[in-house]
A and B are shown apart, each in its own frame.
Chain A
Protein backbone atom coordinates (compact mmCIF):
# COMPACT_ATOMS: atom_id res chain seq x y z
CA UNK A 1 0.00 0.00 0.00
CA UNK A 2 2.87 2.34 -0.43
CA UNK A 3 3.54 4.23 -3.62
CA UNK A 4 3.12 7.91 -4.19
CA UNK A 5 -0.20 8.06 -6.00
CA UNK A 6 -2.31 6.18 -3.45
CA UNK A 7 -0.63 8.19 -0.72
CA UNK A 8 -1.52 11.49 -2.35
CA UNK A 9 -5.07 10.31 -2.97
CA UNK A 10 -5.48 9.18 0.60
CA UNK A 11 -4.04 12.42 1.96
CA UNK A 12 -6.41 14.50 -0.13
CA UNK A 13 -9.28 12.36 1.04
CA UNK A 14 -8.30 12.76 4.68
CA UNK A 15 -7.95 16.50 4.31
CA UNK A 16 -11.29 16.64 2.57
CA UNK A 17 -12.92 14.92 5.55
CA UNK A 18 -11.17 17.18 8.00
CA UNK A 19 -12.35 20.20 6.02
CA UNK A 20 -15.89 18.93 6.00
CA UNK A 21 -15.79 18.60 9.78
CA UNK A 22 -14.40 22.12 9.97
CA UNK A 23 -17.06 23.60 7.73
CA UNK A 24 -19.64 22.82 10.40
CA UNK A 25 -18.25 25.91 12.04
CA UNK A 26 -17.96 28.10 8.97
CA UNK A 27 -18.09 31.43 10.81
CA UNK A 28 -15.08 30.42 12.91
CA UNK A 29 -13.18 29.74 9.72
CA UNK A 30 -13.82 33.15 8.18
CA UNK A 31 -13.05 35.14 11.32
CA UNK A 32 -10.00 32.96 11.91
CA UNK A 33 -8.67 33.60 8.42
CA UNK A 34 -9.09 37.35 8.87
CA UNK A 35 -7.69 37.45 12.39
CA UNK A 36 -4.54 35.46 11.63
CA UNK A 37 -3.88 37.77 8.70
CA UNK A 38 -4.48 40.88 10.78
CA UNK A 39 -2.44 39.59 13.72
CA UNK A 40 0.51 38.93 11.49
CA UNK A 41 0.12 42.28 9.74
CA UNK A 42 -0.04 44.11 13.08
CA UNK A 43 3.16 42.43 14.13
CA UNK A 44 4.81 43.75 11.02
CA UNK A 45 3.36 47.23 11.53
CA UNK A 46 5.27 47.34 14.81
CA UNK A 47 8.51 46.72 12.95
CA UNK A 48 7.47 49.32 10.40
CA UNK A 49 6.82 51.75 13.26
CA UNK A 50 10.36 51.26 14.52
CA UNK A 51 11.64 51.71 11.00
CA UNK A 52 9.77 54.93 10.34
CA UNK A 53 11.52 56.42 13.32
CA UNK A 54 14.93 54.91 12.72
CA UNK A 55 15.29 54.41 8.96
CA UNK A 56 17.56 51.41 9.23
CA UNK A 57 17.78 48.30 11.34
CA UNK A 58 21.35 47.03 11.33
CA UNK A 59 21.71 48.42 7.81
CA UNK A 60 18.40 47.05 6.48
CA UNK A 61 15.57 49.30 5.35
CA UNK A 62 11.87 48.63 5.82
CA UNK A 63 11.41 46.79 2.48
CA UNK A 64 14.37 44.55 3.12
CA UNK A 65 13.15 43.67 6.60
CA UNK A 66 9.64 43.29 5.16
CA UNK A 67 10.95 40.67 2.79
CA UNK A 68 12.37 38.68 5.72
CA UNK A 69 9.13 39.05 7.64
CA UNK A 70 6.96 38.07 4.68
CA UNK A 71 9.01 34.98 3.87
CA UNK A 72 8.87 33.77 7.47
CA UNK A 73 5.09 34.37 7.55
CA UNK A 74 4.51 32.35 4.39
CA UNK A 75 6.55 29.47 5.80
CA UNK A 76 4.98 29.59 9.26
CA UNK A 77 1.44 29.89 7.90
CA UNK A 78 1.91 26.83 5.71
CA UNK A 79 3.23 24.90 8.67
CA UNK A 80 0.36 25.92 10.93
CA UNK A 81 -2.11 24.99 8.18
CA UNK A 82 -0.78 21.60 7.17
CA UNK A 83 1.08 20.72 10.33
CA UNK A 84 -1.88 21.51 12.60
CA UNK A 85 -1.90 18.09 14.24
CA UNK A 86 1.85 18.04 14.65
CA UNK A 87 1.55 21.33 16.49
CA UNK A 88 -1.04 19.75 18.80
CA UNK A 89 0.99 16.61 19.27
CA UNK A 90 1.13 16.83 23.06
CA UNK A 91 -2.52 15.77 23.10
CA UNK A 92 -1.67 12.55 21.27
CA UNK A 93 0.93 11.74 23.91
CA UNK A 94 -1.00 12.78 27.00
CA UNK A 95 -4.20 10.98 26.04
CA UNK A 96 -2.49 8.03 24.35
CA UNK A 97 -4.16 8.90 21.04
CA UNK A 98 -0.98 8.00 19.22
CA UNK A 99 -2.16 4.38 19.59
CA UNK A 100 -4.72 5.09 16.91
CA UNK A 101 -2.05 6.13 14.43
CA UNK A 102 0.08 3.06 15.03
CA UNK A 103 -2.69 0.64 14.10
CA UNK A 104 -3.07 2.16 10.63
CA UNK A 105 -1.09 0.70 7.73
CA UNK A 106 0.68 3.95 6.83
CA UNK A 107 3.63 5.86 8.26
CA UNK A 108 2.44 7.48 11.49
CA UNK A 109 3.47 10.98 10.47
CA UNK A 110 1.45 10.65 7.28
CA UNK A 111 -1.65 9.50 9.15
CA UNK A 112 -1.17 12.24 11.72
CA UNK A 113 -0.92 15.10 9.23
CA UNK A 114 -3.98 13.89 7.36
CA UNK A 115 -6.14 14.04 10.45
CA UNK A 116 -6.53 17.80 10.40
CA UNK A 117 -5.67 20.98 8.56
CA UNK A 118 -6.26 24.53 9.72
CA UNK A 119 -6.87 26.48 6.53
CA UNK A 120 -7.62 29.66 8.48
CA UNK A 121 -3.91 29.80 9.24
CA UNK A 122 -3.39 30.51 5.56
CA UNK A 123 -4.38 34.06 6.55
CA UNK A 124 -0.87 34.32 7.92
CA UNK A 125 0.64 33.02 4.68
CA UNK A 126 -1.50 35.28 2.50
CA UNK A 127 -0.45 38.30 4.49
CA UNK A 128 3.17 37.13 4.17
CA UNK A 129 2.82 36.59 0.43
CA UNK A 130 1.38 40.08 0.07
CA UNK A 131 4.32 41.51 1.97
CA UNK A 132 6.84 39.52 -0.08
CA UNK A 133 5.07 40.79 -3.21
CA UNK A 134 5.17 44.44 -2.18
CA UNK A 135 8.76 44.33 -0.94
CA UNK A 136 10.07 42.36 -3.95
CA UNK A 137 8.35 44.79 -6.29
CA UNK A 138 10.01 47.71 -4.58
CA UNK A 139 13.42 46.01 -4.49
CA UNK A 140 13.03 45.07 -8.14
CA UNK A 141 12.21 48.68 -9.00
CA UNK A 142 15.29 49.98 -7.22
CA UNK A 143 17.35 47.34 -8.98
CA UNK A 144 18.32 45.43 -5.82
CA UNK A 145 16.69 42.23 -7.12
CA UNK A 146 16.19 40.95 -10.66
CA UNK A 147 13.23 38.87 -11.84
CA UNK A 148 15.03 35.57 -11.37
CA UNK A 149 15.99 36.49 -7.85
CA UNK A 150 12.40 37.42 -7.05
CA UNK A 151 11.34 33.98 -8.29
CA UNK A 152 14.00 32.43 -6.07
CA UNK A 153 12.66 34.36 -3.08
CA UNK A 154 9.15 33.09 -3.80
CA UNK A 155 10.38 29.50 -4.04
CA UNK A 156 12.41 29.70 -0.82
CA UNK A 157 9.43 31.26 0.98
CA UNK A 158 7.37 28.17 0.31
CA UNK A 159 10.21 25.76 0.87
CA UNK A 160 11.00 27.54 4.12
CA UNK A 161 8.04 25.77 5.70
CA UNK A 162 10.39 22.79 6.05
CA UNK A 163 12.11 24.61 8.92
CA UNK A 164 9.14 25.05 11.30
CA UNK A 165 7.94 21.59 10.23
CA UNK A 166 11.26 20.05 11.18
CA UNK A 167 11.47 21.98 14.44
CA UNK A 168 8.00 20.75 15.34
CA UNK A 169 8.90 17.21 14.37
CA UNK A 170 11.97 17.21 16.60
CA UNK A 171 9.95 18.67 19.48
CA UNK A 172 7.27 16.03 18.96
CA UNK A 173 9.91 13.29 18.84
CA UNK A 174 11.32 14.62 22.11
CA UNK A 175 7.79 14.24 23.47
CA UNK A 176 8.01 10.45 23.18
CA UNK A 177 10.30 10.67 26.19
CA UNK A 178 9.01 13.66 28.15
CA UNK A 179 5.31 13.72 27.07
CA UNK A 180 4.71 17.38 27.95
CA UNK A 181 6.06 19.42 25.05
CA UNK A 182 3.80 22.45 24.67
CA UNK A 183 6.06 24.51 26.90
CA UNK A 184 9.03 23.66 24.69
CA UNK A 185 7.36 25.04 21.61
CA UNK A 186 8.01 28.61 22.71
CA UNK A 187 11.69 27.88 22.89
CA UNK A 188 12.00 25.74 19.80
CA UNK A 189 9.48 27.42 17.52
CA UNK A 190 7.94 30.75 18.51
CA UNK A 191 11.12 32.48 19.69
CA UNK A 192 13.31 31.42 16.72
CA UNK A 193 10.62 32.21 14.14
CA UNK A 194 10.02 35.62 15.74
CA UNK A 195 13.77 36.19 15.66
CA UNK A 196 13.86 35.36 11.96
CA UNK A 197 11.65 38.37 11.26
CA UNK A 198 14.68 40.61 11.68
CA UNK A 199 18.15 40.58 10.12
CA UNK A 200 20.15 38.14 12.24
CA UNK A 201 23.12 40.52 12.22
CA UNK A 202 21.44 42.64 14.91
CA UNK A 203 21.70 39.81 17.44
CA UNK A 204 24.65 38.92 19.64
CA UNK A 205 26.95 36.27 18.15
CA UNK A 206 25.74 33.37 20.29
CA UNK A 207 22.12 33.99 19.30
CA UNK A 208 23.01 34.28 15.62
CA UNK A 209 24.98 31.03 15.87
CA UNK A 210 22.00 29.32 17.49
CA UNK A 211 19.63 30.51 14.76
CA UNK A 212 21.82 29.19 11.96
CA UNK A 213 22.68 25.84 13.53
CA UNK A 214 20.54 24.04 16.10
CA UNK A 215 17.44 26.12 15.33
CA UNK A 216 18.22 26.91 11.69
CA UNK A 217 15.47 29.46 10.99
CA UNK A 218 18.10 31.71 9.37
CA UNK A 219 18.12 29.56 6.23
CA UNK A 220 14.49 30.10 5.38
CA UNK A 221 14.99 33.81 4.76
CA UNK A 222 17.94 35.72 6.17
CA UNK A 223 20.91 33.76 4.77
CA UNK A 224 19.83 33.75 1.10
CA UNK A 225 18.31 37.24 1.21
CA UNK A 226 21.45 38.67 2.78
CA UNK A 227 23.42 37.51 -0.24
CA UNK A 228 20.78 38.57 -2.78
CA UNK A 229 20.82 42.10 -1.37
CA UNK A 230 24.60 42.22 -1.42
CA UNK A 231 24.95 42.37 2.36
CA UNK A 232 27.20 39.36 2.86
CA UNK A 233 27.73 35.69 2.10
CA UNK A 234 28.78 34.05 -1.16
CA UNK A 235 26.69 32.79 -4.09
CA UNK A 236 26.92 29.29 -2.68
CA UNK A 237 24.30 30.16 -0.03
CA UNK A 238 21.70 30.10 -2.82
CA UNK A 239 21.96 26.37 -3.20
CA UNK A 240 23.23 25.66 0.30
CA UNK A 241 20.15 27.13 2.03
CA UNK A 242 17.59 24.80 0.39
CA UNK A 243 20.02 21.95 0.92
CA UNK A 244 20.36 22.72 4.63
CA UNK A 245 16.56 22.84 4.97
CA UNK A 246 16.10 19.49 3.26
CA UNK A 247 18.92 17.98 5.31
CA UNK A 248 17.38 19.31 8.50
CA UNK A 249 14.02 17.83 7.54
CA UNK A 250 15.63 14.43 6.96
CA UNK A 251 17.35 14.66 10.33
CA UNK A 252 14.05 15.63 11.99
CA UNK A 253 12.29 12.65 10.44
CA UNK A 254 15.06 10.44 11.74
CA UNK A 255 14.42 11.79 15.25
CA UNK A 256 10.71 11.08 14.81
CA UNK A 257 11.34 7.49 13.77
CA UNK A 258 13.65 7.00 16.70
CA UNK A 259 11.15 8.53 19.14
CA UNK A 260 8.29 6.48 17.77
CA UNK A 261 10.01 3.31 18.93
CA UNK A 262 10.11 4.74 22.43
CA UNK A 263 6.41 5.50 22.62
CA UNK A 264 5.00 4.44 25.98
CA UNK A 265 1.30 4.54 25.42
CA UNK A 266 -0.22 6.17 28.46
CA UNK A 267 -3.85 7.03 28.87
CA UNK A 268 -6.02 4.12 29.85
Chain B
Protein backbone atom coordinates (compact mmCIF):
# COMPACT_ATOMS: atom_id res chain seq x y z
CA UNK B 1 0.00 0.00 0.00
CA UNK B 2 1.61 3.26 -1.07
CA UNK B 3 1.22 6.47 0.86
CA UNK B 4 0.52 9.97 -0.28
CA UNK B 5 2.91 12.44 -1.78
CA UNK B 6 2.34 16.18 -2.00
CA UNK B 7 3.47 18.26 -4.92
CA UNK B 8 3.49 22.03 -5.33
CA UNK B 9 4.98 23.61 -8.40
CA UNK B 10 5.28 27.28 -9.19
CA UNK B 11 3.44 26.65 -12.41
CA UNK B 12 0.47 25.04 -10.62
CA UNK B 13 0.43 27.85 -8.06
CA UNK B 14 0.45 30.57 -10.73
CA UNK B 15 -2.28 28.75 -12.59
CA UNK B 16 -4.39 28.52 -9.41
CA UNK B 17 -4.22 32.26 -8.70
CA UNK B 18 -4.76 33.16 -12.35
CA UNK B 19 -7.87 30.98 -12.46
CA UNK B 20 -9.12 32.40 -9.14
CA UNK B 21 -8.85 35.97 -10.43
CA UNK B 22 -10.33 35.10 -13.81
CA UNK B 23 -13.26 33.11 -12.42
CA UNK B 24 -14.15 35.82 -9.93
CA UNK B 25 -13.67 38.93 -12.01
CA UNK B 26 -14.82 37.80 -15.44
CA UNK B 27 -18.59 37.73 -14.64
CA UNK B 28 -18.35 41.21 -13.12
CA UNK B 29 -16.29 42.52 -16.05
CA UNK B 30 -18.95 41.22 -18.45
CA UNK B 31 -21.68 42.98 -16.46
CA UNK B 32 -19.76 46.28 -16.47
CA UNK B 33 -19.12 45.83 -20.20
CA UNK B 34 -22.88 45.60 -20.85
CA UNK B 35 -23.36 48.72 -18.70
CA UNK B 36 -20.74 50.64 -20.67
CA UNK B 37 -22.32 49.52 -23.96
CA UNK B 38 -25.81 50.65 -22.89
CA UNK B 39 -24.69 54.02 -21.50
CA UNK B 40 -22.31 54.69 -24.41
CA UNK B 41 -25.25 54.28 -26.82
CA UNK B 42 -27.22 56.66 -24.55
CA UNK B 43 -30.25 54.34 -24.53
CA UNK B 44 -30.90 55.75 -21.08
CA UNK B 45 -30.36 59.50 -20.41
CA UNK B 46 -26.70 59.93 -19.32
CA UNK B 47 -27.72 62.09 -16.31
CA UNK B 48 -29.48 59.02 -14.91
CA UNK B 49 -27.14 56.37 -16.21
CA UNK B 50 -23.57 57.65 -16.66
CA UNK B 51 -20.80 55.74 -18.38
CA UNK B 52 -18.62 53.42 -16.33
CA UNK B 53 -15.57 55.40 -17.43
CA UNK B 54 -17.08 58.65 -16.10
CA UNK B 55 -17.81 56.95 -12.78
CA UNK B 56 -14.30 55.56 -12.72
CA UNK B 57 -12.60 58.92 -13.43
CA UNK B 58 -14.73 60.61 -10.74
CA UNK B 59 -13.54 57.96 -8.31
CA UNK B 60 -9.89 58.45 -9.22
CA UNK B 61 -10.29 62.19 -8.74
CA UNK B 62 -11.81 61.71 -5.30
CA UNK B 63 -9.12 59.24 -4.34
CA UNK B 64 -6.39 61.76 -5.19
CA UNK B 65 -8.29 64.29 -3.06
CA UNK B 66 -8.10 61.78 -0.24
CA UNK B 67 -11.83 62.04 0.54
CA UNK B 68 -12.96 58.76 -0.93
CA UNK B 69 -10.39 56.69 0.94
CA UNK B 70 -11.50 58.28 4.23
CA UNK B 71 -15.12 57.45 3.42
CA UNK B 72 -14.20 53.85 2.59
CA UNK B 73 -11.91 53.49 5.61
CA UNK B 74 -14.53 54.86 8.04
CA UNK B 75 -17.22 52.49 6.74
CA UNK B 76 -14.91 49.48 6.81
CA UNK B 77 -13.81 50.16 10.39
CA UNK B 78 -17.45 50.48 11.49
CA UNK B 79 -18.31 47.27 9.69
CA UNK B 80 -15.36 45.26 10.98
CA UNK B 81 -15.93 46.23 14.61
CA UNK B 82 -19.62 45.31 14.37
CA UNK B 83 -18.94 42.07 12.52
CA UNK B 84 -16.26 41.11 15.05
CA UNK B 85 -18.73 41.28 17.95
CA UNK B 86 -21.53 39.66 15.95
CA UNK B 87 -19.39 36.70 14.83
CA UNK B 88 -18.20 35.90 18.31
CA UNK B 89 -21.51 36.44 20.11
CA UNK B 90 -23.64 34.90 17.35
CA UNK B 91 -21.54 31.77 17.00
CA UNK B 92 -21.34 31.16 20.75
CA UNK B 93 -25.08 31.71 21.27
CA UNK B 94 -25.86 29.47 18.26
CA UNK B 95 -23.67 26.63 19.51
CA UNK B 96 -25.13 26.79 23.00
CA UNK B 97 -28.65 26.81 21.54
CA UNK B 98 -27.86 23.78 19.41
CA UNK B 99 -26.30 21.86 22.27
CA UNK B 100 -28.56 22.62 25.23
CA UNK B 101 -32.27 21.97 25.30
CA UNK B 102 -32.88 24.66 27.92
CA UNK B 103 -31.10 27.37 25.92
CA UNK B 104 -32.84 26.24 22.78
CA UNK B 105 -36.21 26.48 24.45
CA UNK B 106 -35.42 29.91 25.94
CA UNK B 107 -33.84 31.51 22.89
CA UNK B 108 -35.56 30.15 19.77
CA UNK B 109 -38.68 32.33 20.20
CA UNK B 110 -36.58 35.41 21.01
CA UNK B 111 -34.24 34.98 18.05
CA UNK B 112 -37.12 34.31 15.68
CA UNK B 113 -38.92 37.37 17.03
CA UNK B 114 -35.96 39.61 16.23
CA UNK B 115 -35.08 37.90 12.96
CA UNK B 116 -38.02 39.48 11.15
CA UNK B 117 -37.25 43.00 12.39
CA UNK B 118 -35.12 44.87 9.82
CA UNK B 119 -31.95 46.46 11.18
CA UNK B 120 -33.12 49.87 10.02
CA UNK B 121 -36.14 49.66 12.33
CA UNK B 122 -33.85 49.27 15.32
CA UNK B 123 -32.02 52.58 14.79
CA UNK B 124 -34.69 54.84 16.28
CA UNK B 125 -34.42 52.82 19.51
CA UNK B 126 -30.62 52.66 19.69
CA UNK B 127 -30.40 56.37 18.84
CA UNK B 128 -32.71 57.06 21.79
CA UNK B 129 -30.16 55.40 24.05
CA UNK B 130 -26.82 56.39 22.55
CA UNK B 131 -27.72 59.42 20.47
CA UNK B 132 -26.29 60.04 17.02
CA UNK B 133 -23.06 58.26 17.87
CA UNK B 134 -20.81 55.57 16.51
CA UNK B 135 -21.89 53.30 19.37
CA UNK B 136 -25.50 53.46 18.21
CA UNK B 137 -24.46 52.41 14.69
CA UNK B 138 -22.08 49.64 15.77
CA UNK B 139 -24.49 48.19 18.33
CA UNK B 140 -27.35 48.10 15.85
CA UNK B 141 -25.24 46.45 13.14
CA UNK B 142 -23.85 43.88 15.60
CA UNK B 143 -27.31 43.01 16.80
CA UNK B 144 -28.82 42.64 13.33
CA UNK B 145 -25.81 40.68 12.08
CA UNK B 146 -25.78 38.21 14.93
CA UNK B 147 -29.35 36.99 14.21
CA UNK B 148 -28.68 35.02 10.98
CA UNK B 149 -25.37 33.81 12.45
CA UNK B 150 -27.18 32.45 15.50
CA UNK B 151 -29.85 30.73 13.40
CA UNK B 152 -27.35 29.10 11.05
CA UNK B 153 -25.00 27.96 13.81
CA UNK B 154 -27.94 26.50 15.73
CA UNK B 155 -29.12 24.46 12.72
CA UNK B 156 -25.52 23.53 11.89
CA UNK B 157 -24.92 22.12 15.35
CA UNK B 158 -28.22 20.24 15.36
CA UNK B 159 -27.47 18.58 12.04
CA UNK B 160 -23.97 17.35 12.88
CA UNK B 161 -23.84 13.67 11.92
CA UNK B 162 -25.17 11.77 14.94
CA UNK B 163 -22.64 8.94 14.67
CA UNK B 164 -19.84 11.47 15.10
CA UNK B 165 -21.45 12.62 18.33
CA UNK B 166 -21.83 8.97 19.36
CA UNK B 167 -18.17 8.27 18.61
CA UNK B 168 -17.10 11.30 20.64
CA UNK B 169 -19.40 10.43 23.55
CA UNK B 170 -18.23 6.82 23.53
CA UNK B 171 -14.77 8.24 24.20
CA UNK B 172 -15.96 10.24 27.20
CA UNK B 173 -16.30 13.61 25.46
CA UNK B 174 -19.01 15.77 26.97
CA UNK B 175 -19.98 19.34 27.83
CA UNK B 176 -17.68 22.10 26.62
CA UNK B 177 -15.19 19.64 25.11
CA UNK B 178 -17.96 18.15 22.98
CA UNK B 179 -18.91 21.64 21.81
CA UNK B 180 -15.39 22.65 20.85
CA UNK B 181 -13.97 19.36 19.60
CA UNK B 182 -16.97 18.00 17.69
CA UNK B 183 -20.02 20.24 17.38
CA UNK B 184 -18.16 23.37 16.20
CA UNK B 185 -15.91 21.74 13.56
CA UNK B 186 -18.73 19.40 12.55
CA UNK B 187 -21.08 22.29 11.86
CA UNK B 188 -18.47 24.56 10.26
CA UNK B 189 -19.82 24.41 6.66
CA UNK B 190 -23.21 25.70 7.84
CA UNK B 191 -21.64 28.13 10.32
CA UNK B 192 -19.54 29.74 7.57
CA UNK B 193 -22.68 30.04 5.43
CA UNK B 194 -24.23 31.90 8.38
CA UNK B 195 -21.25 34.23 8.60
CA UNK B 196 -21.75 34.99 4.90
CA UNK B 197 -25.40 35.92 5.39
CA UNK B 198 -24.54 37.87 8.53
CA UNK B 199 -21.80 39.95 6.91
CA UNK B 200 -24.04 40.75 3.94
CA UNK B 201 -26.69 41.91 6.39
CA UNK B 202 -24.09 44.01 8.21
CA UNK B 203 -23.40 45.98 5.01
CA UNK B 204 -27.08 46.68 4.52
CA UNK B 205 -27.61 47.85 8.09
CA UNK B 206 -24.39 49.90 7.93
CA UNK B 207 -25.69 51.88 4.98
CA UNK B 208 -29.03 52.46 6.68
CA UNK B 209 -27.17 53.60 9.79
CA UNK B 210 -25.05 56.05 7.84
CA UNK B 211 -28.21 57.53 6.41
CA UNK B 212 -30.14 57.80 9.68
CA UNK B 213 -27.43 58.61 12.22
CA UNK B 214 -25.76 60.87 9.60
CA UNK B 215 -22.17 60.80 10.82
CA UNK B 216 -19.46 62.92 9.13
CA UNK B 217 -17.91 60.21 7.00
CA UNK B 218 -18.81 56.91 5.39
CA UNK B 219 -19.81 55.42 2.05
CA UNK B 220 -23.48 55.78 2.88
CA UNK B 221 -23.03 59.45 3.78
CA UNK B 222 -21.33 60.00 0.44
CA UNK B 223 -24.12 58.33 -1.54
CA UNK B 224 -26.91 60.24 0.21
CA UNK B 225 -25.06 63.55 -0.14
CA UNK B 226 -24.69 62.87 -3.86
CA UNK B 227 -28.41 62.18 -4.08
CA UNK B 228 -29.10 65.75 -2.94
CA UNK B 229 -26.87 67.16 -5.67
CA UNK B 230 -28.14 64.66 -8.26
CA UNK B 231 -24.59 63.49 -8.88
CA UNK B 232 -25.39 60.12 -10.46
CA UNK B 233 -21.75 59.19 -11.11
CA UNK B 234 -21.02 59.37 -7.36
CA UNK B 235 -24.21 57.46 -6.50
CA UNK B 236 -23.37 54.59 -8.84
CA UNK B 237 -19.72 54.79 -7.88
CA UNK B 238 -20.66 54.34 -4.23
CA UNK B 239 -22.88 51.37 -5.02
CA UNK B 240 -20.13 49.74 -7.07
CA UNK B 241 -17.56 50.27 -4.31
CA UNK B 242 -19.83 48.72 -1.67
CA UNK B 243 -20.63 45.74 -3.85
CA UNK B 244 -16.99 45.26 -4.68
CA UNK B 245 -15.82 45.52 -1.05
CA UNK B 246 -18.44 43.04 0.12
CA UNK B 247 -17.56 40.66 -2.68
CA UNK B 248 -13.80 40.97 -2.06
CA UNK B 249 -14.29 40.34 1.67
CA UNK B 250 -16.36 37.24 1.00
CA UNK B 251 -13.89 35.81 -1.52
CA UNK B 252 -10.68 36.68 0.31
CA UNK B 253 -11.72 35.88 3.86
CA UNK B 254 -14.68 33.47 3.96
CA UNK B 255 -14.01 31.55 0.77
CA UNK B 256 -10.33 31.18 1.70
CA UNK B 257 -11.35 29.95 5.14
CA UNK B 258 -13.65 27.43 3.47
CA UNK B 259 -10.92 26.16 1.15
CA UNK B 260 -8.49 25.87 4.05
CA UNK B 261 -10.93 24.01 6.32
CA UNK B 262 -14.13 22.27 5.25
CA UNK B 263 -13.09 21.79 1.64
CA UNK B 264 -9.66 20.49 2.61
CA UNK B 265 -11.30 18.10 5.09
CA UNK B 266 -13.63 16.84 2.36
CA UNK B 267 -16.74 18.03 4.20
CA UNK B 268 -17.74 20.21 1.24
CA UNK B 269 -17.65 19.25 -2.41
CA UNK B 270 -15.29 21.05 -4.72
CA UNK B 271 -16.90 22.35 -7.88
Q: Do A and B bind each other?
A: no
